[in-house]
Amino acid sequence: MIIPSVDLINGKIVRLYQGKYNCKTSYEDDIYDVLSNYYSQGSSIVHLVDLDGALNPKRKQIHIIETLLSNSNFNIQVGGGIRTRQDIELLFSLGVKRVVIGSLAIYDSITVKTWLKEYGGDAIILAFDIRINNHEYKEVVVDAWKKFSGVSLEKLIDEFSSCGLKYVLCTDISRDGTLLGPNINLYKDLVKSFSHISFQSSGGIGSLNDITSIKQSGVESIIIGRALLEKKFSLIEAIQCWQNG
């Protein structure tokens, strides 16, 4: 599945280069128009990242999400600054399909495991952003990529699998926002090691050939942001490429 992605700061669409807030590109496109366009081209869900909330959970852009969902039939999965049960309940009450949890899975794994058991694996996605060192150690980074956790991606997937984990969004931070191509070997290894997990790949997609390569790795979905915003190809072309891959 192709999942278009939109990152928001203060209600405006942006893209970060390798997760750096001081290396951002801003787009003039209206968020409602962009989402409407994606759904008209065949998208079944959009990935929405609240970068304000990711940086400061007290600044989540709830009003934007509420406006989007109250005026449309959009399906969205939302990440950024989700820290409490109240955050989850509010997003679900607004009509969000899935919530995406990242850093909290490191800082408070007991709580996240409880949520997975309570809400189910179809409602919660765990997002693990990783840095791969020279020894191929996949270290998870947290707090909007400002800190290294010291924990491996594989360990976390193993840990949460017993609690009903179904979806994992994995981003190689060296590829994010670069258009330089995805880390194919990373996703091949993950799919081979964890056949029970539905992986969403993120980072580096810049061409239709990249989509074909990722499809062949076995991941279930590709999240694409910058390439669609900058019209490297259309969403229709991306979906067709995925279906034919």
pLDDT over 90 percentage in the chain: 74
Which pLDDT score, from 0 to 100, does residue 136 have? 80
Which pLDDT score, from 0 to 100, does residue 54 have? 86
Confidence of residue 16 (pLDDT cuts 50, 70, 90): confident
Q: Is the dihedral of CA 96, 102, 104, 109 positive or negative?
A: positive
**What number of residues does the chain have?**
245
Which pLDDT score, from 0 to 100, does residue 143 have? 66
Residues 6+ apart with CB under 8 A from 8: 14, 31, 48, 49, 50, 51, 52, 61, 64
Would the pLDDT of 232 be above 90? yes
Q: In sequence order, what are the beta bridge partners of 15?
A: 25
Q: DSSP per residue over 13-51, as a string?
A: EEEEETTEEEEEEEE-S-HHHHHHHHHHTT-S-EEEEEH
Which pLDDT score, from 0 to 100, does residue 179 have? 81
Which pLDDT score, from 0 to 100, does residue 139 have? 84
| Active-site annotation, residues | 7, 129
pTM value?
A: 0.92
CA 207 – CA 205 distance, rounded (Å)? 6
- Residues 108-135: pLDDT tens digits? 999 999 999 999 999 999 999 888 877 6
Q: Are 87 and 60 in contact (CB under 8 A)?
A: yes
Which pLDDT score, from 0 to 100, does residue 94 have? 96
Confidence of residue 87 (pLDDT cuts 50, 70, 90): very high
CA 236 – CA 38 distance, rounded (Å)? 9
Instruction: Kindly indicate whether the domain formed by 2-244 is annotated with CATH number 3.40.50.300.
Output: no
Which pLDDT score, from 0 to 100, does residue 174 have? 80
Which pLDDT score, from 0 to 100, does residue 39 have? 95
Lowest mean pLDDT among 62-76, 109-123, 154-168: 62-76
Q: Which of 73, 62, 131, 71 is nearest to 99 (CA)?
A: 62
